[in-house]
Amino acid sequence: MLGRRLIASFAFLAVLTALSCRTAVLEAPEPEGREERENPEERNRWFWEQRAYPAGSIPIAAHRSALLRESARTLRLSADDGTWTNIGPAPLPELVYSLASSQDVSGRASTLAIHPGNPDTMLLGTAEGGIWKTTDRGANWRSVGQDLPTLVVGVIRFSPSDPGLVFAGTGEARGAGPLRGFGLARSRDGGETWQLLPASGSGWDFNFTAITGLHVDPRDGKTLYLTTATIAPRTLNWTLPANLPQTGIFKSTDDGESWQLLHAAKRHPVSGSMSNGFSDFEYGGAAAPNLMYVSEYHGGIIRSTDGGATWRYVTPLKAAPGYGTFPANPSAISYQITNNRFQLANRLPNPASEVDFRIIEIAAAPSDPQVLYAGYDALQVRLDVNGNGIFDASDRRVNGALLFKSTDAGETWSWLGTRHDGVPDYCGFQCWYDNVISVHPANPDDVILGGAANYSRYAGEPFANPARLLELPWRGVLYQSRDGGKSWSDITPHCTQISAEPARTQAGVPVYPCVAVSNAKIVHPDIHVIVRGADGRVYVAGDGGVFRGSLPGPGSGHKRRAVAPRRLPDPLAGGIYTWETLNNGLSTLQFYRIAAHPDDPNILLGGLQDNSAAYWNGSEWQGWGAADGTVAFFHPVDPKRIYLGTQFEVHRHDDGGTKEFSEAAGWKLSVFAGEEFDLNNGETTSFVPVFALDPVDPSITYGASDRALYRSTERGADSVRIGPATNTVGVPTSISVSPVNRQVVWVGTGTGSVYRYDISGSGTAAATRLNTGLPNRFVSQIVAGYDSADTVYAVFNGYDANTPGTPGKVFVSRNRGTTWQNVSGDLPDVPANALALDPTDPNRMWLATDAALYSTRDGGQTWQSERRNMPVVTVSDVVYHAKSGELVVATFGRGIWKMNAGQ
């Protein structure tokens, strides 16, 4: 995921540009306040909680029914019916990385399978974009399986004995994907067409779960094994549904039609809630078809040597019964920027009530499955920085990776070292999210690690007490060892030239900056898949799509060794791979919000998860950098003034925008928050920031926190608090200014509250909470009406099943919020995300939902699906361009779609 941590200084941001991450390798001090919260966990919590509130759970039956209903809808299109055009991005070209390097990217990919007999054919599974197929080794992709009720695919497997038979497991445990887990899909024609198999039966239920591992017995193509999980555990306090299906390890002997539970996941030994399930599944394959390894969330690694009949732990247990533990008590490294020293600190044990790790990524060597590597997501490691033997205020807590190896099927383990000793912290603070290990098919000593990147600004030489500092861009997305983990090379070094002379000193230590980078030496960070091709090349997939790495000459892998591996940290070590993007044709990007140019509907701007922002000029896309993109706005009078949101922030550019996201390029940081805004004092905003322009005088802008409405008369600069100094009930999620009376401003919150702010001539405001008759659910959007200042619409996320006394997705008030009317008609019970109004016809509206786009022409009495030729996908935003009649929708996984809806 891009933008895990925004940097307050634009000078630093210009170096990190679109990506940042909390990494513990050569780590600078943790940022305070807002930056402290910006991570993939916050993104997932934002997505989950608005759908689960107030019950803290998803009504599985209601959700499944709505998506199946939409999937089964017969698309009868007459000659007069319009169809949607997908305009991509496919891919987003030249997304800017650090130091102005760039690559073409697509949306998050979660699995890649290569045809066992034809390496030109591959199938790609994506987080919200479905299944894609290539027959030219990744040069071009096309969508397959669009009729499935879910586009969230976590694992794909070809049958070894019959490659025409392919299975795809739905759901994704490391995001919010279990919401769309529908079990297993099967193809009998090499992935061209897909059939959804039964998702439940006697003793098994795959609804609302993610299939995290899947293997086909090479001796019998009808015998399958799989593992399931629900939402991956977080450090954040999420309330998981009480009625989650039992997760576990399952076996089928009838081609996936029915399943037997082999081993149930445990309940959480501290909280007592249902276990999250199993995160990784390694299979002995043809070399040892009865050997299986499975890792459980919070539970360690279990092994079966009899085809799943019996299981036992092959990792030590914690003192708390039923928990896993670290096989060692290692030390760790932290970087002290105050004196440019890299300090070795002992790790202190966590209290018995605290979890030490969340997931363990495992990888068995295909040629010798007795060899097993395990990468621990070390959670909240307590470092004794001051060396007094206790954890106190001067010490630190960090997350990171710990790597272990076994050569006897897990009976004994060796710890491969610390970051100080040369083992890379390849996934940093995100090992629960991006943590991958791949072993070469023919060489157990050839190992590649993938995860996040090393975003730390400095590398010290020597490591522990540097005589000089190297100032570097991203590196370390992938590391390779060719000697079984004894030494490692960064195979994504990015920087190709260090200045011969220091540029400055830092605390008396000379700093040598990187002066040249190569697009061919880096891949998009956050790796979820590493696959070794039969041609020796390395295929990786993750938050930026698909990439392929090659060594000089024919083939790659362990056979060629252009340079000997060198121990870290040498930023230029191992730079022998050449990387190329394989994203052509992939329309899988995930949009939050979009904006259409007020005069030209062909000009669009939108915020993207993982991939910054996208700009469409009518014929081609451009990638605009800086963090995860969220909201987007054009100034309605002077559209050269644009606004882009990132995590918790909004930025402005006064000259049409630019790809380089820096103050030097004209971007202004944090335009909606003035000096009064103080997150360090407990003030809270939404992960996707709330922001609005006055439609009459767009120099006036609004932002909001849970303590105040903020108003600026200088296009976002010098925002000041207005209104009473009392907290809103819930964090604000939407703002709308009446186009009829700009003194009326509406605010919705994440706990179902609606506020009307009446602005006086002096700029002060009186706030009134107006909730009578409204559901206690997340307000996705507030939309002021065009026909009257008294008219306002409120759109609600979540499920009617969670608020049965007050059902409804869309409500309208025609008396400034005093009373409300439910105008949801016959809408399905599925989360609603955004509403577009026809400014010339108050009875005509479009609603973006998690299943499809719906429209009404009678003010909400009846609604009809406008899915037409689109797949069943989350529609995250909708814009109606009244001047042209163009309807534009943003999806969370299938890019942007356009259709002329008439006027």
Q: Are 485 and 373 in contact (CB under 8 A)?
A: yes
450-473 b/e with 16+ CB inside 10 Å = b? bbbbbbbbbbbbebeebebbbbbb
Nearest to 4 by CA among 541, 355, 451: 451
Q: How would you class 535 by CB atoms within 10 Å of its CB: exposed for 0-12, middle for 13-18, buried for 19 or more?
A: middle
Q: What pLDDT, on the 0 to 100 scale, is given for residue 438?
A: 97
Q: Which tokens is 665 given?
A: 């390029």
Q: Are 767 and 724 in contact (CB under 8 A)?
A: yes
Q: What pLDDT, on the 0 to 100 scale, is given for residue 5?
A: 27
d(CA 784, CA 766): 18
The helix (H) or strand (E) run that includes residue 738 is none
E strands of 340-395, at which residues? 341-348, 357-365, 368-384
d(CA 178, CA 181): 5
Q: For the chain, how are helix, strand and coil distributed in percent, rounded to 5?
A: 5, 40, 55
Q: What pLDDT, on the 0 to 100 scale, is given for residue 232?
A: 56
For residue 374, the cross-strand partners are 362, 404
CA–CA–CA angle 125, 376, 542 (5° rounding): 25
- Which DSSP symbol is given to 829? S
Q: What pLDDT, on the 0 to 100 scale, is given for residue 719?
A: 83
359-380 b/e with 16+ CB inside 10 Å = b? bbbbbbbbebbbbbbbbbbbbe
d(CA 797, CA 54): 11
End-to-end, the C-alpha distance of the chain in Å comes to 39
Kindly report, residue by residue over 252-284, the tens digit of the pLDDT.
999 999 999 999 988 655 555 556 789 999 999
The pTM of the full predicted model, rounded to 2 decimals, is: 0.90
Residue pointed to by tokens 């992960």:
687
d(CA 616, CA 506): 42
Nearest to 639 by CA among 673, 684, 599, 582: 599
CA–CA distance from 470 to each of 126, 460, 812 (Å)? 37, 6, 59
Q: What pLDDT, on the 0 to 100 scale, is given for residue 330?
A: 53
Q: Which tokens is 88 given?
A: 């991509």
Q: What pLDDT, on the 0 to 100 scale, is given for residue 681?
A: 61
Q: Are 744 and 756 in contact (CB under 8 A)?
A: yes
Query: What are the average pLDDT values for consecutive 10-residue runs of the chain, which has 903 residues?
Result: 29 26 28 39 82 86 90 62 90 82 92 96 96 97 93 96 96 77 96 96 92 95 94 52 82 97 77 72 95 89 96 67 47 52 70 73 96 86 84 81 89 75 78 93 96 86 82 92 92 92 90 92 94 93 96 49 35 68 97 95 93 93 83 93 89 89 82 54 80 91 86 86 78 95 95 93 86 96 97 97 96 97 97 97 97 97 94 96 94 96 79
Q: How would you class 444 by CB atoms within 10 Å of its CB: exposed for 0-12, middle for 13-18, buried for 19 or more?
A: buried
Torsion, CA 644, CA 650, CA 656, CA 661, rounded to 10: -90
